[in-house]
């Protein structure tokens, strides 16, 4: 499935998406030889603010072959993400219970997608939950399937038919805790 078709399918799920530069022959489609964020940065001038569920707008946004797909997190798509980076991230979960939920596999980590809670604000964070555990919420995004990671791995959903679960209370509590 190409990026446009996938973005249109995601729109049917109520997810807002936008094009992200892709990786073709090991190089970022942005054209920068030493791109520090290969295949992960927005391909639109206004970044994730271009995210939409509108099929006609998606047709115009995904005009170039090789784009990856960015999924806007937060209220725009009704989801937030716990990004678990490798073995260190898995260990940092410290046995906290995780309900079965939609799981997305990346080039180096896994994303657990949860339903965005009503009357709460889930912001982005990099270490508030624990080491190698990141939150992508309001104002954040993740790159999703069928995108290609800079290491050549194809992003994929492990269980696309499983809907995003209600988040566990411990996760919401930590994700909404005020930062010092």
pLDDT per residue of the chain (180 residues) written in tens, 0 to 9: 799 999 999 999 999 999 999 999 989 999 999 999 999 999 999 999 999 999 999 999 999 889 999 999 999 999 999 999 999 999 999 889 999 999 999 988 999 999 999 999 999 999 889 999 999 999 999 999 999 999 999 999 999 999 999 999 999 999 998 765
pLDDT of residue 1: 74
pLDDT of residue 179: 65
**Contacts for 123-130 with beta carbons within 8 Å, 24 or more apart?**
123/175, 125/175, 125/179, 128/174, 128/175, 128/177, 128/179, 129/82, 129/92, 129/171, 129/174, 129/175, 130/89, 130/92, 130/93, 130/94
Count of C-beta atoms within a 10 Å radius of residue 103: 18
Phi, psi of 24 (to 5 degrees): -125, 125
Residue 83: closest CA among 62, 104, 57, 59: 104
Cβ atoms of 22 and 7 within 8 Å: the answer is: no
Residue 47: closest CA among 34, 59, 61: 61
Q: How far apart are CA 40 and CA 91, in angstroms?
A: 25
pLDDT of residue 98: 95
Strand 79-85, strand 133-136: pairing: antiparallel
* pTM given for the model: 0.94
Cβ atoms of 116 and 78 within 8 Å: the answer is: yes
Q: Which two tokens stand for residue 34?
A: 């030493």
pLDDT of residue 94: 86
Q: How far apart are CA 146 and CA 163, in angstroms?
A: 18
């Amino acid at each position: 499935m190409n990026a446009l078709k996938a973005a249109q399918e995601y729109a049917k799920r109520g997810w807002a998406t936008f094009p992200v530069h892709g990786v073709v022959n090991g190089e970022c489609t942005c054209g920068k030889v030493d791109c520090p964020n290969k295949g992960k940065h927005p391909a639109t001038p206004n970044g994730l603010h271009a995210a939409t569920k509108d099929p006609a707008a998606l047709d115009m946004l995904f005009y170039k072959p090789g784009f990856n797909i960015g999924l806007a997190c937060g209220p725009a798509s009704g989801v937030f993400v716990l990004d678990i980076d490798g073995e260190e991230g898995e260990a940092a979960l410290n046995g906290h219970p995780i309900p079965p939920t939609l799981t997305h596999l990346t080039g180096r980590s896994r994303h657990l997608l949860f339903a965005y809670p009503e009357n709460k604000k889930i912001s982005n964070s990099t270490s508030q939950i624990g080491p190698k555990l990141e939150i992508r919420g309001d104002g954040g995004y993740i790159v999703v399937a069928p995108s290609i990671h800079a290491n050549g791995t194809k992003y994929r959903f492990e269980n696309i038919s499983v809907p995003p679960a209600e988040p566990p209370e411990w996760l919401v509590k930590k994700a909404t805790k005020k930062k010092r």
